[in-house]
C-alpha cells in the first residue's frame, strides 16, 4: 500500500511527457490519455480512502532515518491528504472531460492537456509531500503551468492577467523560499515533522526564538495567503480566474487555490507550528475580512466569470473562518468537540466549494462558448435555448447561497453553529450576513443571464445546447451538489471527513506518527 | 539577426566542438568530480548558442531545431522517470528511485549504479531546455522586428 503513494506524482508527470512526445505524431492521443489517467487517480484516491487507516509514510530512495533524524524525502498520506487528493482528482477529471469539446477553439490543443497534467502533478505533489522544500518545488510546477494556462487564449486581456498573476505569484514564491531558508537555518532540517519537533523543543526553553517564530509565521501567511488569495492579497485572482479558459477557471478556483494555498496554511499552522492565540486570531480575521470584501465586490460585477472569481474570495473566507475558529478554540484550550465541529465545517465547505464553484465556472464557460460574451447585460433569456446549462447553473447557485437540500447549506450551517458554540457571536452574525449577500449576487447572475426576457434574440441566432462532454460534466457536478449533502450523516462523515479532522485536532500527533518517537 | 565576421565564425567553428566535448566530460564524470548533469547540460547548450550567435539565424531552420529539441526534452524527462520507475520495479515495488545497478568500485568511471545514467538524461534535458529557451527568445525578437 505504501509503495503506491508516489504514483500520485508519477502518473500525471509521466503522462504529461508521453503526451508531449507522442501528441505531435498521433492526432488526438492527448484527449484519450488525460481522462483515463485522471480516472485512474480518482480510483487510487478512493482505494486509499476506503482501505487504509492512519498515517502512511513513504521514504523516497528507501533511506532509513539515522539516529532518529529523517534523511529521505518523506511522502505522507493521512486523512487530510486523502480529502484534498479526492478534491483534486474528482474536479480534475470532470474539468478535463469538459475540455474535450471546449478546447476545439484553440489552435494548439495538445499543449493544453500537457500543461493540465503538469498542474495536476504539481498539486498532487504538494499534497503528499511531507517535506517543506518539496512543497516549494511542486508549488512552482503547479504555479508555472497555471500561469501558462491562464494565458492560453493569448488575447490581450489574458496575457495581461497572466502577467499580473506571474508578478504576484513570483513575489509569493520569493517570500516562501525565504521562509524555508530561514526555517532551515534555524532548525537544520526540512522535514515538516522534524521541524515541528525542533520548534516545540526550542520554543519552550528559549524566549528569543519566539520572535523568530512570529516572523516566519507572518511571512508564511503572506506567501501562502497570496497563493490562496486571502484579503489583502486577493487582487490577482479576479483577473486571472476570469481570463483563463473555463475548465481551467474551474480548476484554479475550485482546486488550485485550496491545494497550494489553504491546504499548506492549515498543514503548517496546525501540524508544524505550536498553536498560538495571536496567529489564530490573525488568520481568522483575515478570513472574515476576505469573506465580506469578496461578497461586497461581487455584487457590482457585470462580467459573469469575474463575479464568480470574487465569489471565490468570499467562499475561501468561509473556509478560513471555519478552520480559524477551530484554531482559536484549540489555542485557548477550549472544548475539543467545538473545535472539531468548526474544522469539520471548514473542510466540508472546502469540498463543497470545489464542486459548486467548479460547476458554476463550467456553466459560465458553456454560456460563453455558445454566446461569445461574458457580459451579463448582453445576455438574458438563455434558459430557453440552453436548458441543461440553465438548470445546472441554478443548482450551483442555490448550493453556493446555502439553500437547504444542497450541500452548501449544511457546511455553512455547521460553521455558524460552531461559531456560536465557541461564543464568537460577531463572526456567526457576519457569516449569516455574507450568506445573504451571496444570495443577492447569485440572484442577479441568474436573472440577467438566464431569465429576464423570452430569449427570441438567441433563437434567431440558432443557439444550441452545448456538446455532450460539456453537458455530462455539468450534470455530474450538479448531482454531486445534492449527493454531498449526505456527508452530514455521521456514518458517511466517518469515512470522508473524520480522518481529516482528526489530523488537525490532534495536531501534535503528526510529528510523532511520522518520526515514530 | 545577421552573422558576425569571418574571424568570429572560424574561431567558433574550432572552439565549439571542444566546448561540447567538455560538457560531455562534465556530465559523464558527474558522480566523480564536481559538476554533473545540470552543469554539463548548460555547457553543451552554450556551444549550441555560440553557433547561433556567430552564424546568425535562419528562422525556418531554427523552428525545425526547436521541434527536435522539444522532443529531446520530453524524452529525457521520460527517461529519468523510467529509470526511477525501474528502481521501483527491481526493488520489488517498494522503493521509487532505488539504485538497482551494481555500485562498482569507488573512483572508476563505470560505478555508482544508475547515477551516471541519470546524469546523462538530466544533461540532455537541461541542454535541450536551455537551447529551447534561447531559440524562443531569438524567434520572438525576429518576429517582433518584422
pLDDT at B60 exceeding the cut of 70: no
% of chain A at pLDDT higher than 70: 98
Q: Please, which pLDDT band fits residue B146 given cuts at 50, 70 and 90? A: low
Q: For the residues B94-103, what does the mean pLDDT come to?
A: 73
CA–CA separation, A414 vs A400, rounded Å? Answer: 14
- Judging contacts by C-beta atoms under 8 Å, the chain A residues touching residue B75 are 17, 21
Query: What residues contact B132, with CB distance under 8 A and at least 6 apart?
Result: B66, B69, B70, B73
Residue of A nearest to B76 (CA): A17
The rounded distance, in Å, linking the Cα atoms of A386 and A407 is 24
From B12's Cα to the closest Cα of chain A, the distance in A is: 32
**Predicted confidence band at A127 (pLDDT cuts at 50, 70, 90)?**
very high
Contact between chains at A21 and B74 (C-beta distance less than 8 A): yes
**Grid cell 502518473 — which residue?**
A11
Q: Residue B77: which of A17, A60, A62 has the nearest Cβ?
A: A17
Query: What mean pLDDT value characterizes chain A?
Result: 87
Element (H, E) at A514: helix A509-515
Cα angle vertex A431, ends A425, A434, to 5°?
Answer: 140
pLDDT of residue A177: 93
A148 touching chain B per CB within 8 A = no
Task: List pLDDT tens digits, range A45-75.
Answer: 988 888 887 788 888 777 888 887 888 888 8
CB atoms inside a 10 Å sphere around CB A221: 22
pLDDT tens profile A71-89: 888 888 888 899 999 999 9
What are the distances in angstroms from CA A252 to CA A228, A307, B91?
10, 15, 38
- Rounded Cα distance between A74 and A58, Å, is 6
B46 close to B19: Cβ distance less than 8 angstroms? yes
**C-alpha cell of residue A14:** 509521466
pLDDT confidence of residue A197: 84
- With beta carbons less than 8 A apart as the criterion, state whether A389 and A395 touch: no
pLDDT at B4 (0 to 100): 79
Q: What percent of chain A has pLDDT over 90?
A: 30
Question: Could you tell me the end-to-end alpha-carbon distance of chain A, in angstroms, rounded to an integer?
Answer: 22
Residue with cell 486571502: A230
Distance from the A62 Cα atom to the nearest Cα atom in chain B, whole angstroms: 5
Q: How confident is the model at residue B1 (pLDDT cuts 50, 70, 90)?
A: low
Q: How confident is the model at residue A288 (pLDDT cuts 50, 70, 90)?
A: very high
* Count of A-B CB contacts under 8 Å: 47
Q: Which residues form the domain of B110?
A: 6-145
Task: Say if the Cβ atoms of B96 and A14 lie within 8 Å.
Answer: no
Report if residue B62 sits inside a domain. yes
CA separation for the pair A121, A371 (Å, rounded) = 33
Q: Is the pLDDT of residue A205 over 70?
A: no
The answer to whether residue B85 is domain-embedded is yes
pLDDT (0 to 100) of residue A3? 77
Nearest CA in chain A to B87: A61
The answer to whether position B1 is within a domain reads: no
- Answer yes or no: is pLDDT of A207 > 60: no
Locate A467 and state its grid cell: 456538446
The pTM assigned to this predicted structure is 0.89
DSSP code of residue A244: S
pLDDT, greater one: A177 or A26:
A177
How many domains are there within chain B? 1
How do residues A305-358 score in pLDDT, each as one tens digit? 899 999 999 999 999 999 999 999 988 888 888 999 999 999 999 999 999 999
Range in A200-209, A213-222, A350-359, B51-60 with the lowest mean pLDDT: A200-209
Question: Residue B107 has which C-alpha cell?
Answer: 573512483
Q: How many CA atoms lie within 13 A of A255 on its CB side?
A: 33
Q: Please say whether the beta carbons of A335 and A329 come within 8 A.
A: yes
- B93 vs A13: CB contact, 8 Å cut-off? no
Amino acid at each position: 500500500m505504501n509503495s503506491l503513494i508516489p504514483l500520485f506524482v508519477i502518473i500525471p508527470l509521466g503522462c504529461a511527457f508521453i503526451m508531449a512526445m507522442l501528441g505531435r505524431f498521433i492526432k488526438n492521443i492527448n484527449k484519450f490519455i488525460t481522462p483515463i489517467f485522471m480516472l485512474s487517480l480518482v480510483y487510487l484516491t478512493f482505494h486509499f480512502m476506503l482501505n487504509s487507516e492512519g498515517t502512511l509514510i513513504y521514504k523516497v530512495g528507501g533511506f532509513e532515518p539515522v539516529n532518529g533524524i529523517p534523511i529521505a524525502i518523506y511522502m505522507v498520506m493521512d486523512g487530510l491528504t486523502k480529502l484534498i487528493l479526492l478534491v483534486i482528482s474528482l474536479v480534475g477529471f470532470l474539468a478535463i472531460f469538459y475540455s474535450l469539446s471546449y478546447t476545439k477553439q484553440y489552435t494548439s490543443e495538445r499543449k493544453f492537456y500537457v500543461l493540465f497534467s503538469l498542474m495536476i502533478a504539481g498539486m498532487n505533489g504538494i499534497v503528499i509531500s511531507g517535506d517543506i522544500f518539496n512543497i516549494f518545488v511542486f508549488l512552482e510546477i503547479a504555479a508555472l503551468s497555471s500561469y501558462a494556462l491562464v494565458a492560453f487564449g493569448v488575447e490581450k486581456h489574458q496575457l495581461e492577467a497572466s502577467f499580473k498573476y506571474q508578478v504576484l505569484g513570483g513575489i509569493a514564491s520569493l517570500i516562501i523560499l525565504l521562509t524555508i531558508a530561514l526555517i532551515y537555518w534555524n532548525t537544520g532540517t526540512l522535514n515538516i515533522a522534524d521541524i515541528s519537533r525542533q520548534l516545540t523543543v526550542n520554543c519552550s526553553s528559549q524566549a528569543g526564538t519566539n520572535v523568530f517564530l512570529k516572523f516566519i509565521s507572518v511571512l508564511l501567511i503572506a506567501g501562502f495567503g497570496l497563493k490562496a488569495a486571502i484579503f489583502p492579497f486577493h487582487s490577482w485572482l479576479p483577473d486571472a480566474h476570469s481570463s483563463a479558459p473555463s475548465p481551467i477557471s474551474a480548476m484554479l478556483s475550485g482546486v488550485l487555490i485550496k491545494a497550494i494555498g489553504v491546504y499548506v496554511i492549515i498543514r503548517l499552522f496546525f501540524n508544524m507550528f505550536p498553536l498560538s492565540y495571536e496567529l489564530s486570531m490573525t488568520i481568522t480575521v483575515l478570513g472574515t475580512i476576505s469573506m465580506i470584501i469578496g461578497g461586497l465586490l461581487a455584487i457590482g460585477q457585470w462580467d459573469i466569470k469575474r463575479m464568480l472569481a470574487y465569489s471565490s474570495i468570499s467562499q475561501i473566507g468561509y473556509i478560513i473562518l471555519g478552520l480559524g475558529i477551530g484554531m482559536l478554540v484549540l489555542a485557548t484550550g477550549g472544548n475539543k468537540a467545538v473545535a472539531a465541529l468548526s474544522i469539520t465545517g471548514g473542510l466540508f465547505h472546502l469540498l463543497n466549494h470545489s464542486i459548486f464553484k467548479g460547476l458554476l465556472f463550467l456553466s459560465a464557460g458553456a454560456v460563453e462558448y455558445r454566446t461569445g460574451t461574458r457580459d451579463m447585460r448582453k445576455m438574458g433569456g438563455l434558459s430557453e435555448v440552453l436548458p441543461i446549462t440553465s438548470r445546472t447553473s441554478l443548482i450551483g447557485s442555490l448550493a453556493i447561497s446555502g439553500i437547504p437540500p444542497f450541500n452548501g447549506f449544511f457546511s455553512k450551517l455547521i460553521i455558524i453553529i460552531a461559531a456560536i458554540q465557541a461564543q464568537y457571536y460577531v463572526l456567526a452574525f457576519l457569516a449569516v450576513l455574507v450568506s445573504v449577500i451571496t444570495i443577492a449576487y447569485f440572484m442577479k447572475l441568474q436573472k440577467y443571464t438566464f431569465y429576464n426576457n423570452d430569449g427570441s434574440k438567441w433563437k434567431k441566432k440558432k443557439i444550441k445546447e452545448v456538446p455532450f462532454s460539456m453537458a455530462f460534466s455539468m450534470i455530474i457536478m450538479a448531482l454531486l451538489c445534492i449527493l454531498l449533502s449526505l456527508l452530514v450523516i455521521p456514518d458517511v462523515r466517518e469515512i470522508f471527513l473524520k480522518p481529516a479532522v482528526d489530523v488537525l485536532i490532534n495536531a501534535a500527533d503528526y510529528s510523532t506518527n511520522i518520526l515514530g518517537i | 539577426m545577421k552573422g558576425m565576421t569571418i574571424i568570429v565564425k572560424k574561431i567558433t567553428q574550432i572552439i565549439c566542438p571542444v566546448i561540447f566535448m567538455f560538457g560531455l566530460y562534465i556530465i559523464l564524470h558527474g558522480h566523480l568530480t564536481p559538476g554533473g548533469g545540470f552543469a554539463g547540460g548548460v555547457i553543451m547548450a552554450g556551444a549550441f548558442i555560440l553557433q547561433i550567435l556567430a552564424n546568425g539565424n535562419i528562422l525556418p531552420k531554427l523552428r525545425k531545431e526547436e521541434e527536435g529539441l522539444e522532443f529531446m526534452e520530453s524524452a529525457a524527462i521520460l527517461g529519468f522517470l523510467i529509470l526511477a520507475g525501474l528502481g521501483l520495479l527491481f526493488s520489488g515495488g517498494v522503493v521509487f528511485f532505488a539504485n538497482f545497478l551494481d555500485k562498482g568500485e569507488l573512483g572508476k568511471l563505470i560505478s555508482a549504479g544508475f547515477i551516471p545514467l541519470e546524469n546523462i538524461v538530466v544533461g540532455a534535458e537541461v541542454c535541450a531546455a536551455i537551447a529551447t529557451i534561447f531559440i524562443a527568445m531569438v524567434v520572438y525578437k525576429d518576429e517582433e522586428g518584422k
